[in-house]
Amino acid sequence: MKLLEGKTALITGASKGIGRKIAEKFAEHGANVAFTYLSSVEKGLALEQELQSFGTKVKGYRSDASKFDEAEKLINDIVADFGTLNIVVNNAGITRDGLLIRMTEEQFDDVIEVNLKSIFNVTKAASKIMMKNRAGVFINMSSVVGVRGNAGQANYAASKAGIIGFSKSVAKELGSRNIRTNVVAPGFIKTEMTDVLDPKVVEGWEKDIPLRRGGETDDVANCCVFLASDMASYITGQVIPVDGGML
Give the type of residue at 168. K
Judged by phi (left if over 0) then psi (alpha if -120 to 50, else beta), residue 145 lies in alpha
- Residue 32's SS3 state is strand
Q: Which residues of 198-235 are buried (b: 16+ CB within 10 A; e: fewer)?
A: eeeebeeeeeebeeeebbebebbbebbbebbbeebeee
d(CA 35, CA 20): 9
Residue in 37, 61, 156, 234 annotated catalytic: 156
Q: What are phi and psi of 91, to 5 degrees?
A: -115, -20
Helices (H) and strands (E) in the chain, counts: 10, 7
Query: Is 234 among the residues known to form the active site?
Result: no
Q: Cα 118 to chain center, whole Å?
A: 11
Contact 127, 109 (CB under 8 A): no
Catalytically active residues, by annotation = 156
